[in-house]
Amino acid sequence: MKKLIILALMALPLGAMAQKFAHIDATAVFTAMPETVAAQTELQTLQTQLQEEFQRMQDELRTKYEDYQKNEATFPEPTKQRRQQELQDLNQRMEEFAQKSEQDMQTKYQEKVAPIHEKLLKAIEEVGNAGGYVYVMDVSAQATPILFFNQTLSTDITDQVKTKLGIK
Could you state, in order of their start, the residue ranges of all structural domains in the chain? 17-164
Q: pTM (2 decimals)?
A: 0.72
Which pLDDT tens digit goes with each residue over 43-97?
999 999 999 999 999 999 999 999 999 999 999 999 999 999 999 999 999 999 9
CB-based burial label for 45 (10 Å; 0-12, 13-18, 19+):
exposed
Mean pLDDT of the chain: 87
Contact (Cβ atoms closer than 8 angstroms) between residue 46 and residue 108: yes
Inter-CA distances, 68 with 6, 71, 94, 123, Å: 94, 5, 18, 61
CB-based burial label for 90 (10 Å; 0-12, 13-18, 19+):
middle
The architecture in CATH of the region 17-164 reads 2-Layer Sandwich (3.30)
